[in-house]
A and B are shown apart, each in its own frame.
Chain A
Amino acid sequence: MTTVEKPGAADPTTGRARYAAVGERQPRLEGVQKTTGRSVYAADVQLPGMLHARLVLSPHPHARITTLDASAALAHEGVVAVITADDLGRAARDGSNPARGASNRADALLADREAVFAGQPVAVVLGESYSAAEEGADLLNVEYEELPAVLDMEAAMEPDSPLARSPVSDIDHTEEDAHVTIDVKSEEAEGRPTNIASHVSFERGDLDAGFEQADLVVERSYRAALVHQGYIEPHATVADYDPASGDVSVWTSTQGQFHVRDTLMRLFKLPETKLRVIGCELGGGFGGKMIQSATIATACALLAERPVKLVFTRREDLLAATPTPGSVVRLKSGITKDGDVTALQATVIYDAGAFPGAPAAVGSLLISSFYRWPNLRTDGYEVLTNHVSVGAIRAPGIHNITHAMEQQMDEMARGVGLDPAEVRLRNAVRTGDPMASGKPFPAIGMVETIEAAAAHPIWQEREQARTRSTETTKVGVGLAVSGWLGGLQPASAELMLNSDGTVNAVVGAMDISGVNTSFAQIVAEELAIPVERVSVTTGDTRTAPYAGISAGSKTTITMGRALREAAIDMRQQMFSVAADQLEANAQDMELAEGEVRVAGSPEKALPFRRLASITTGFGSLYTPIVGKGAISARVQAPGFTAQLAELEVDTVSGNVTLKRWAIAQDAGYAINPLSVEGQMEGGTGMGIGIGLSEEYLFDEGGHLRNAGLLDYRMPTAADTPDIESLIVEVPSEEGPYGARGVGEPSITAGPAAIANAIYDALGVRVTEMPATPERILRALGRIAD
């Protein structure tokens, strides 16, 4: 164990705060189990008498269900039940039917008489085997009367557009709120029903005057495709119901087990004393793993009174889970020849699909908050269509707006002949600057982050890189900057001192990014013991203290604080017992090498093991040592990122080859640099896919044509360059040790960096994302139409 004089003192050479356990590169606690195949994911759960569920999906984007005849399916060998929306009232304890007239996706388990997107689950077939259920699903006779489908988000906003679905009320913003905390509430549609589910706007200064002052005004619109989070584990749930005791147990893949519990309680009116949600090891979520399989599987188990396994096929996951919205962003912005931005007019439109839930508020807030616009007007819209309803992704909505804003910044800087990095630095927001909403930014490191990227060789050597261009291979370098506010949610944690002097921590937060390892580091730090002597367990909803959804880059900064509080609580309890035993003052105690010692008299010490035995033994006068930590979080810890892409474009094939990549990101303080880099690299990888190859491709009738991983093209290792991570550390106000959330910013800037590099290489803008070979060749005018 490294000992340091004073925890938190600056290292004389690096200037970085030094601690014993936090700040070290710590391999994951559960890493071994994941490399040997021992970790248990939801689909690995197998119960006696378990039924298999297969979904029947609507083939139409908008249709009335006229016939739903299950007789042939039910007659098939091995088919046990067919469940439709009509049956759901029997699943709820009070007979209410959650799907009837549901406004929200979580409630609309199955299409209730009307299907509102192609891929919406219409029925579930339960079979004794997977194949029996599958064959039963083939035999289900569903007939539809097709209704006009609303497929274009801009056309859907017109007053005379047909409605994508019945008017909505009670919009559920859980997913957006899980990711970001903003003091902005969007107006929900009033009066005559339209497809605009919500509208939010921001205004500052005098727009006309601002454009008047500009030496250059750039006006462009940008499009982003609907994309999937791309977790490799499809949605999966095993739900069990014991009719005798009333116990309901749900093993599921989710980012928020308490969210699942609360939703199941609400939908089926189950008492939470009878409901146990076990969040299994999660095979990737990225904002997309909330609840989709748990509601359906639980309804099936309640109705069949047997355990039910529902695992989405990849096709179903692409068609019927909650991908993240496509968008149209229209920008008009002005800049002076000195490089000062003068005015921004922005319209941000997200295609929410068939249920509300698109991040219009945060998207329109952040598109106008990262630079010091003296004059601005931003309008954000969330529009309902008959596409699949959307959910969150890492920093939901932000890769869309960054792709627009950062191309706009690039074009403005080039237009007035200035260095794009310099223009960003000149206009970047600083701590205390107002967001578009007027609320001031807490401590932020946008400037430091841009500086780190601008000093990197990829940026410094961009002129030399371009000289490698040939007649058909053009080299370019692009920079883009973005950030994410992050969410806030209360958190709680418990620590127990074990009889061998080790410590067990129990949390309820799902470990989606290695947070449990960081938690162990925090506990080890505060108790001055090696990380190996701390275990962290994710309990279930009956055994763990409450935790929010692991989303919004907030798990480390909120739960980490709760654990730190719990460790401090445990320390105080140990000091108090030791003081009594050692006949000293509790204030004079210190921790070292797994012992409580009297400061200055190391021979007067009590090992943790001894403390455990005297606080748990028969007739002990002391209470067992149990540390508790519970916090509420008030100040966000926004994280900024600046990314550099160096690439080659083959001007004949349109193919892009990424050559080098660097990502600078403000982590506040990297509690575990190994996992911080992992988050930066992983977000970069997603950004690369979104920037170059991933998109939902619909035909004219609104049917998804690439519902598989061959044609929904996520980058392979061969498409991905080496990624260099530059960790910037500008401490946050509230995160433990100054840490910031790091999960989300990394996805935001990559697609824009690619688009700017393509411009650098070719001199043409690809304003529609992803920048596929065909779009690049069209921008070059190579394809005649």
Chain B
Amino acid sequence: MAKQAHRLTVNGREHDVYAEPSRSLLEVVRDELRLTGSKEGCGTGDCGACTMLVDGRVVTSCLVLWPEAEGREVRTIEGLAEGSALHPLQRAFVEHGAVQCGFCIPGMILAGVATLERTPHATREQIRDGIAGNLCRCTGYQKIVDAIESVAHASSNGEER
């Protein structure tokens, strides 16, 4: 079946991709762009490990055909830190012990980013709601919620995020 050419904008960089249109955004970003931070945990949109931000909104990239992302801003975990400066959520996840096996973490952090964009001073309940599409099996979510909450508190205390 014929391949197609489309331009993807991922983490601010443009990529001209030529591939079968029947592949997922996740697969193309991982296998063609070699950005393997996004993970496939289920392939059916039920675990959230493949979460990316498309035009600022969380999606499960395993259920997005890659040509659908043309003309949109795709952000993956690799695009979150600025050089050596980690995003506050990345730092908070490490410091709070929210990272164990790490497989869910890229998607989880992006879900956290979206949660705090929506509700900068999110309560623990709002945080739990915001990350409910992202399964984690290692942490019981305790330290993940702690980490996101610490950033929510920092922002409500007027500190720079």
Contacts and interface: CB of A to CB of B under 8 A. Distances in A.
Most A CB contacts (10 A, CB to CB) among B20, B49, B134, B135 go to B135
Given A34-B99, A37-B76, A684 B105 contact: no
B94 interface: yes
Given A46-B34, A681-B140, A35 B97 contact: no
Contact of B30 (A33, A44, A720): A44
B45 to A, nearest CB: 8
Interface string B3-23: 000000000000000001011
Contacts of B55: none
Most B CB contacts (10 A, CB to CB) among A36, A37, A675, A720 go to A37
B20 A131 contact: yes
A709 B42 CA distance: 7
Contacts of A716: 128, 131-135
A31 B93 contact: yes
Contact of A28 (B37, B38, B97): B97
B153 interface: no
A485 to B, nearest CB: 23
Contact of A27 (B23, B37, B94): B94
Given A232-B103, A709-B46, A717-B144, A37 B135 contact: no
Given A674-B97, A708-B44, A709-B42, A284 B138 contact: yes
Interface in A104-150: 129-131
A658 to B, nearest CB: 11
Contacts of A38: 37
Contact of A37 (B37, B43, B133): B37
B114 interface: no
B149 to A, nearest CB: 11
Contact of A41 (B27, B103, B124): B103
B35 interface: yes
B104 A675 contact: no
Interface string B81-96: 1000010011001111
Contact of A723 (B93, B102, B103, B142): B142
A684 B35 contact: no
A32 to B, nearest CB: 6
Given A35-B94, A232-B135, A284-B137, A314 B41 contact: yes
Interface string A232-244: 1110000000000
A233 B101 contact: yes
Contact of B31 (A46, A230, A231, A314): A46
B86 A718 contact: no
Contacts of B37: 36-38
Given A708-B46, A723-B142, A685 B137 contact: yes
A314 B80 CA distance: 28
Given A284-B138, A682-B140, A722-B124, A677 B44 contact: no
Contact of B78 (A36, A40, A710, A714): A36
Contacts of A717: 127-129, 131-132, 134, 136, 141, 144-145
Contacts of A283: 39, 41, 101-103
Contacts of B96: 27
Contact of B139 (A36, A685, A688): A685
Nearest to B31: A46
A282 interface: yes
Interface residues of A, number: 60
A750 to B, nearest CB: 10
B123 interface: no
A233 B39 contact: yes
Contacts of B139: 678, 681-682, 685
A284 B39 CA distance: 13
Given A709-B42, A714-B137, A678 B100 contact: yes
Contacts of A681: 139-143
B18 to A, nearest CB: 14
B74 interface: no
A287 to B, nearest CB: 12
Interface in A195-242: 229-234
Given A44-B30, A714-B135, A717-B128, A36 B140 contact: no
A284 B105 CA distance: 12
B25 interface: no
A286 B139 CA distance: 12
Contacts of B141: 681, 685, 717, 720
A660 to B, nearest CB: 13
A31 B109 CA distance: 13
Nearest to B42: A314
A27 B105 contact: no
Nearest to B125: A718
A118 B120 CA distance: 48
A378 B49 CA distance: 44
Given A717-B145, A720-B140, A232 B43 contact: no
B102 A39 contact: yes
A234 B104 CA distance: 12
Most A CB contacts (10 A, CB to CB) among B40, B89, B133 go to B40
Nearest to B141: A717
Contacts of B124: 722
Contacts of A314: 41-44, 46-47
B106 interface: yes
Contacts of A33: 102
B105 to A, nearest CB: 5
Most A CB contacts (10 A, CB to CB) among B102, B132, B140 go to B140
Interface in A307-332: 311, 313-314
A359 interface: no
A28 to B, nearest CB: 6
B77 interface: yes
Given A678-B138, A716-B135, A35 B128 contact: no
A156 to B, nearest CB: 31
B144 A513 contact: no
A675 B131 CA distance: 22
Contacts of A720: 128, 140-142
Interface string A275-304: 000000111111000000000000000000
B150 interface: no
A62 B124 CA distance: 48
A266 to B, nearest CB: 28
Interface string A698-718: 000000000011100010111
B13 to A, nearest CB: 15
Contacts of B128: 716-718, 720
B77 A36 contact: yes
Nearest to B127: A717
Contacts of A28: 94, 97, 99-100
20 contacts: A30-B102, A36-B37, A37-B106, A39-B102, A129-B20, A230-B137, A231-B101, A232-B47, A232-B137, A233-B103, A234-B41, A678-B100, A681-B140, A681-B143, A682-B100, A682-B137, A685-B140, A709-B47, A710-B46, A716-B131
Given A311-B40, A710-B46, A717-B134, 14 more contacts: A27-B97, A30-B102, A32-B86, A34-B105, A37-B76, A129-B20, A231-B101, A232-B101, A281-B102, A283-B102, A284-B103, A677-B97, A681-B142, A709-B46
Interface of B: 20, 22-23, 27, 30-31, 34-44, 46-47, 49, 76-78, 80-81, 86, 89-90, 93-97, 99-106, 109, 124, 127-129, 131-145
